[in-house]
Structure formats: C-alpha cells, structure tokens
Amino acid sequence: MRRRQELKSRQRVFAGMADLHGGEAEAWVATHMLAPDREDPSRLSARILQGFVGLRRLRPDVDACFDFRPAEEPRGPLSQAAGGLEEFYSNPPAQVESGEVAGRRVVRLARGKIGKDAVCDMLSLTRIERAIPRFASSPGRLSGSFALIKTPVKVLHLDIVLPGELVHDSPPELFVFAPGPRACTNVNDRLADLDRVDVPEQVEVLASGAARFEVAAVPNYRRMLEMMAVELGHDLDAMRIHRVSVAYPPFGYEFMSTYRLHADRSSGGGSAGAPR
C-alpha cells in the first residue's frame, strides 16, 4: 500500500513539474564506473555516463539547461565528451546549443529546432583519471555516487560498477535527500540527515550474470559499459554492479548510492571523497 501511494504521489509531482519545467524524459541514466588506475594503483580512475533517454520538450517558451560535469570536481585530469555516443542512441540525437557559465560547460536544448512531439537522446561520458584514492581515510567512511533530479523523468537508473575486491563486505546504502540548503550532500556529515527522506527503494548488488547489463530503460547499455571498461583496462564481466532503480523520482531530490572502500592499513590512506 505504501509503495502504491508513494508512486501515485510521485506521478502527480512528475506531471506538474514536467509542465512547469517544459520537458520530460523516459529515463535519466547515471553510471559511475571505477577501477584502479593503471599508472597509479593507489588511486581509482572513473568513467561517468549520464544523460537522457527519450527526452521530450513540452514547452518551447522554457529553456532546458543541463550541466554534465561532476558537481564536485575530483582531483586528477578530467575530460568530457558530450558527443561520440550517438551510435548507442535509440532516438535521434538532441539538437543542442552549448556555452560556458562560470567556467562550466552548459548545454541547452536548441530553441525552435525541437518540436513538441519530437523525442531525442542526449548522453555524456566524463573521464576522470586518478579521481579518488583507492582506500578510505578511516574505517567505515562512506563513499558514493549521486544523481540529482533536475528534469522530470519516469525512471532513474543509477549504477556503480567496480571490481568487488575494492569494497567492504558491508551492504551498500541508499541515501535520498529532499531539496535543502546543502547541495551535493556529504553523507558522512550527520547534519545532512535533516534533509534525508525515507523511500522504499534500496541498493541492489549484482555480482554476476549477463542479465545485469540488460536494462530496458537504456538500450545498448552493455555496449556502452564495455567501451568504458576497455578504457579503464578492466574486464567488465569481472565487475559488480550496485544498482538503484527508481520510478518517477521526485524533482529536485538527490539520490546517493554509497559503499565503503577498504581502509589502507599500511599507510593510513587518503581522503576517500566520492566521484560526486
């Protein structure tokens, strides 16, 4: 009963915000892949796939802007490709205009070029070498990856893909935060609990099986993950997935999937900030 009631409430919020925001999408995919850096095994390099599948513009009078860079810049070289993924699309590529705002690359749906009934895809791949330390700075410290819902979507697909030996055996946790004064929440700060909300979803751990890569909301998902794994020099089938799937995630809510890296007992480790 609780799940049905919550789903109905989310659907009402989705409909209203889609009209106000002027757009909606079938899915927002946020996939964070981590693997030890080949030149510096004490750090993890990252590939972050994110974007829209089945994006539809509802109101031409409302600007739809998207910032694809990580909200908190990790250390290490960062490069980004907003294009080059079109071969994986199931809909035509979105027609966009891009620019820079306060040093960050912002993408806008092109005005006058996307009709009300047109459906398109827009995906981005961010590459971050030596993004975070391989070991946690202290036992039990949480790391994580997040999705911040800024456009109404019917499905949120949030995956963390990484070698299983990197993480502690304790189960991963899902933290969900309502819009509040703190953005890009630090899950290790208990003050953040003031904005935390309870949801029925949990993190699902998928350790093996080909079905892990079959995601109805994201066509060609395995092919994209294979490309990311090759870049990181890792075997995709040897990695595990921490998956969060949410129907009609509330607009403005922050979903964070967390895990615990092993502590570095030999040297004390370094800061274990998340690629977030």
**From CA 217, how far away is CA 141, in angstroms rounded?**
32
Residue bearing tokens 């820079």: 100
Structure tokens at 10: 């989310």
User: Where do the structural domains in the chain lie, given as residue ranges?
Assistant: 2-259
Distance of CA 186 to the CA centre of its chain: 16
Q: How do residues 14-63 score in pLDDT, each as one tens digit?
A: 999 998 888 899 999 999 999 999 999 999 999 999 999 999 888 777 77
Structure tokens at 196: 């935390």
Tell me the average pLDDT across 266-272: 41
CATH of domain 2-259: 2.60.40
Q: How do residues 119-160 score in pLDDT, each as one tens digit?
A: 899 898 988 999 999 999 888 889 999 998 888 999 999 999
Nearest to 245 by CA among 138, 126, 170, 159: 159
Contact 20, 63 (CB under 8 A): no
Please give the model's pTM, rounded to 2 decimal places.
Answer: 0.86
